[in-house]
Amino acid sequence: GAGVSQSPSNKVTEKGKDVELRCDPISGHTALYWYRQSLGQGLEFLIYFQGNSAPDKSGLPSDRFSAERTGGSVSTLTIQRTQQEDSAVYLCASSLAGPKSVYEQYFGPGTRLTVT
Amino acid sequence: QQQVKQSPQSLIVQKGGISIINCAYENTAFDYFPWYQQFPGKGPALLIAIRPDVSEKKEGRFTISFNKSAKQFSLHIMDSQPGDSATYFCAACGGAGSYQLTFGKGTKLSVIP
């Protein structure tokens, strides 16, 4: 079956512009996660969705970052007024719900964001 | 702050050798420890994972060793192959309804023929 897909694969934007990044999780996965991978760094958690609700937004770095999920499927991560420090690979992951399954997170290929 | 410390940062191993990557954690609430493999331009792929009720888990050439008292776990890749060349991340998860994975900073493995 299809894995997690993300679009666009690459995005170059000018400082101050808004960007939207999209994630399509694996079919049937009700849990969805966004992570950020900066050059030379590990992966940094941003936000977790269970269905359309986001019980954990603790990793969003500032109020310029927001995310939503509709229909329990597709999610969009929006970065407003982009800054150069936002340049990174943004990764989406999904998993089944449930206490044993929720940790098994499957990642998409990521969106490489470059802010010039 | 929750942290997972990973070493070494990079590793060069001869084909057929054993690759060993180590991780240490502080948060005793963690109860799931996965390893991810990432090739350039790709997302991380779940490789193998362990829960703290066992000390070792083996899947093919990949083995996780877990030492709960020392709060350390490691990945062993037996008979390393050039195709294993990738960046490996350890991670940890768990506690207080938290489902976020906390990652180590990664180890870049190069297996040379």
Band of residue B1 on the pLDDT scale cut at 50, 70, 90 = low
Give me the pLDDT at residue A86, please: 96
Domain that holds residue A32: 5-98
For residue A60, the domain's CATH number is 2.60.40.10
B36 and A CB contact within 8 Å: yes
Q: Note whether A107 contacts B103, CB cutoff 8 Å.
A: no
Q: What is the structure's pLDDT at B100? A: 85
What whole-number distance in Å separates Cα of residue B22 and Cα of residue B36? 13
The reported pLDDT for the residue numbered B97 is 63
Nearest CA-CA distance, residue A61 and chain B, Å: 15
Cα dihedral value B58, B7, A102, B46, nearest 10: -60
Mutate to test the interface with A, among B10, B30, B53, B101 (most CBs of A within 10 A): B101
Residue A105 lies in a domain: no
Number of domains in chain A: 1
pLDDT value for B96: 64
pLDDT tens track for A11-68? 999 999 999 999 999 999 999 999 999 986 679 999 999 999 998 898 999 999 999 9
A112 within a domain of the structure (yes/no): no
From A99's Cα to the closest Cα of chain B, the distance in A is: 9
B106 vs A: CB within 8 A: yes
Sorted by where each begins, the domain ranges of chain B are: 4-112
**C-alpha separations of B57 from A8, A102, B7, B92, B93 in Å:** 37, 20, 20, 16, 17
Q: Domain B4-112 is of which CATH architecture? A: Sandwich (2.60)
Cis amide bond preceding A8, omega within 30: yes
Question: Which pLDDT belongs to residue A40?
Answer: 66
The pLDDT > 70 percentage for chain B reads 96
CB contact under 8 A, A43 and B44: yes
Read off the pLDDT band of A98 (50, 70, 90).
confident
User: In whole angstroms, what is the distance from residue A109 CA to residue B51 CA?
Assistant: 26
Query: Would you call B100 and A103 a contact, using CB atoms and an 8 Å cutoff?
Result: no
Higher model confidence: residue A89 or residue A99? A89
Q: What is the pLDDT of residues A65-84, one digit of tens each?
A: 999 999 889 999 999 999 99
Q: What is the pLDDT of residue B50?
A: 93
Q: How many contiguous H segments (helices) and E segments (strands) does chain B have?
A: 0, 11
Task: Identify the pLDDT of residue B98.
Answer: 74
In a domain, A15, yes or no: yes
**Closest residue on chain A to B37 (Cα):** A107
pLDDT at B2: 54
Confidence (pLDDT) at A97: 81
Please tell me the distance in Å from A72's CA to the nearest CA on chain B. Answer: 17
Q: Report DSSP letters for A66-99, one per residue.
A: EEEE-TTS-EEEEE-S--GGG-EEEEEEEE--ST
Tens digit of each residue's pLDDT (9 = 90 or more) over B35-85: 999 999 899 999 999 998 999 999 999 999 999 999 999 999 999 999 999
